[in-house]
Amino acid sequence: MAILENIRKRTTVLILIIGLALFAFVISGIFTGNDFGGAKIGSSIAEINGEEIPIDNFKRKIENANRFGNNSSLQIVNSVWDQEVRSTILAQQFEDLGIDIEQDQIINFIKTNPAYSQNPQFLDDSGIFDEAKFRDFIADLKNNAPRQYDLWLQDEQNIIQRAKEQTYFNLIKAGVGATLKEGEIDYKLANDKVDIRYVRVPYTSIADTTITVTKGEIDAYIKEHKEDYKQEKARDIRFVYFEENPSLGDEAAIKEEISQLLEDKIDKAKDTTYVELGFRNTKDVAAFLDENSDVKFDTIYKAKKDLPAVFADTLMTLEVGQTFGPYKDADTFKVSKMVNRKANGSVKASHILIAYTGAERANPEVTRTKEEAEEKANEVLKEALKNGADFALLARDNSDGPSAPKGGDLGYFQEGIMTPKFNDFAFGNNEGHVGLVETEFGYHIVRVDDKEDIVQIATLVRAIEASEETSNKLFTDATKFEMATTTSDRAFEEIAKESEYAVRPVNKIKEMDENLPGLSAQRSIVQWAFNSETAVGDIKRFNINNGYAVVQLTETYEEGVMSSEEASAQVLPKIRKERKAAQIISANQGKSLDDFAKDNNISVATASALTVKSPTIPGAGNEPLVVGTAFAIGQDAVSGLLEGETGVFMVAVTKKEEATKLDNYSTYANSIKSANAGKVFSAVYNALKEASEIEDNRATFY
């Protein structure tokens, strides 16, 4: 913050320096001659330091942002808002300081962006960015692809903005430094050490119940610390959620429905009998599932581990053509039918790869010849074939393959996954067999670890959903509750309790919030809560995903300083702490360290090698005032009573150790300079934003 304070104090000097460092260039459509910003028309989404941000321009940016990513609409609004506020505040600074960007500066900036500088269509025969090709591309967009050209215009403005920001922040960073004396001080703060004896009477030794704090005292405290108790506009609500879930009757009906699909249907007409084959006997499972299942036929063969864990054992034992079910799996009922089985269709194997120079995907660090690789592979194979050989250890020590850290384990795989020769070896040999295979990757010592069947299973699936009857009842219940709470003098919570409904509170909702705990994204509820016509106590029913919510507004908070009621939870502990400190200090004035300990039934403790930069006292916590005082008093001196973070302290210095003097403190000075320079981007912008007058109208439009 010291950097920002110096910047504020030297604003005029900074403007003068930047003004001397730069010439004012004219920038207006560097490539195009157009002002992308356009005229200010319609209502404004914001006013920043007196400058209006037109809603039309803002909406266009929202539309463009919507084309990318999967964020919610409000997340995109807030993201574009943050960008707009930042670019506007900084643009005002650029204008005040005369920072403009010329055409060659933009080209230079583009050359540093990999999206352009590494794009093959903009490179010459030597692989170097070709400015002429880039300009021709933009001209072609303008003439033949107007939509892409509009997107380029936005990119151009972003490039100009980033180039200006780079210039602006580089100028500020150039003025950030640190002297050798600052480096020396920083070194000493971290390396000067002090040992102490101390006594701490913790604040917890006085019960909170013995400290009486009045509302007037809380008000006075808030008045003295206004900056600590500022608040944004906020709302408290509570709600009852009527969630649409299937009833037990719905579950039973769906189970019965899927059970009936198992069997054949016989339709007897006047002269003929028609049989519609059920799932058990159908000859075309794919067509049957297309017509009757929520999930289509999955033709992929699966190993046991890929089947639902609870039912995998049962499913794997089915014979071809046999069915199992109905069974409940999560929110569905299922019937599964074994369509086909491949015995030993999945193999688990481990291998040790001995690669050589020139083999496919060989690590550049491998320098052995093919002959040397074959010789080594045969040596490792002999070791692997010995009784008691540790194959995993041999793999870790010898394999050039990526599976080496896992002991060569390749896991399970089906036919066709591995390279042909490796595949044939793995599927053509029995479990436990170890042998040598040559492929394009080198020589493999392969062990067949396991084999298992894979199965093709067709599954008839029906989601367990609420019936129309259940949905209608839910609507009726929600409506009745809404009417009861809006027409009765009884409390919202009392009526809910009577019907055994759970009331859920949500506190301190902000005006641009979207997600509400327990209800997820419900922007309409937030907008209603902040509507000027909605009063505390008002109730409304909202249709939400998977049900209804009956919501009551319970409290409003306006922007400004908190009231005593709102801040009491934060203020009370601080006032109590001050009172306790005063009591302890008053009762122990003039006492020695040992008397202070004895009279409060506390032992004298010790702490060694304390530093100012890490002022933590073991057993007492972070105590910067106490540690700082220990450094400030002399050797063998005793402090007075100190109001610490966790209690009242008295400290006696037993040893002081100064850090070894260095010949040069430039390393520490450079570290301070780098740390301060790294803070410039965020610290300067945050200071500018804090000092700006921003009228936020987002809630009006979104």
For the stretch 529-582, pLDDT in tens is 999 899 999 999 999 888 999 999 999 998 888 888 888 889 999 999 999 999
* Mean pLDDT to the nearest integer, 326-345: 94
What is the three-class DSSP state of 377? helix
pLDDT of 439 over the 90 cut? yes
Q: How far is CA 513 from CA 522, 556, 690, in A?
A: 9, 15, 21
Query: Considering only 111-125, 315-329, 492-506, which range has the smallest mean pLDDT?
Result: 111-125
H and E: helices and strands count for the chain: 24, 24
How big is the chain by its Cα radius of gyration, in Å?
Answer: 38
CA distance linking residue 335 with residue 328, whole number of Å: 9
What value, to the nearest 5°, has the Cα angle with vertex 219 and ends 215 and 224?
150
Q: What are phi and psi of 22, to 5 degrees?
A: -125, 150
Q: Hey, what are 11's tokens?
A: 């604003």
Alpha carbon distances (Å) from 223 to 22, 110, 227, 232, 577: 46, 53, 9, 17, 18
Those residues whose C-beta lies under 8 Å from the C-beta of residue 57, and which sit 6 or more positions away, are 37, 38
SS3 680: helix
Judged by phi (left if over 0) then psi (alpha if -120 to 50, else beta), residue 523 lies in alpha
Quick one: pLDDT at residue 159?
84
Q: Which of 298, 256, 242, 166 is nearest to 548 (CA)?
A: 242
CA–CA gap between residue 668 and residue 190 (Å, rounded)? 11
Lowest mean pLDDT among 32-46, 240-254, 308-322: 32-46
Instruction: Give the model's pLDDT for residue 40.
Output: 38
CA 78, CA 69: separation in Å to the nearest integer?
14
Q: Among 229, 315, 311, 263, which residue's Cα sits nearest to residue 563?
A: 229
Distance, CA of 205 to CA of 354 (rounded, Å):
71
Report residue 16 as tokens. Answer: 């003068």
Indicate the burial class of 603 (C-beta count within 10 angstroms; 0-12, 13-18, 19 or more).
exposed
- % of the chain exceeding 70 in pLDDT: 93
Residue 205's Cβ-side half-sphere holds a number of Cα atoms within 13 Å equal to 14
SS3 at position 346: strand
Q: Average pLDDT, whole number, for the chain? A: 88
Quick one: DSSP state of residue 563? Answer: P
Terminal alpha carbon distance of the chain: 35
β-bridge mates for residue 443, sequence order: 354, 438
Q: Is the pLDDT of residue 41 over 50?
A: no
Whether 465 shows a pLDDT value over 60: the answer reads yes
Instruction: Pick the more confident residue, 33 or 54.
Output: 54
DSSP 406: G
How confident is residue 20, by pLDDT bands cut at 50, 70 and 90? very low
pLDDT top residue among 21 and 85: 85
User: With bands split at pLDDT 50, 70 and 90, how would you rate the model's confidence at 591?
Assistant: very high
Given a cut of 50, whether residue 19 has pLDDT beyond it is: no
The whole-number pLDDT of residue 5 equals 42
CB 422 within 8 A of CB 439: yes
Arithmetic mean of pLDDT, 375-385: 94
Say if CB 396 and CB 405 are below 8 A apart: yes
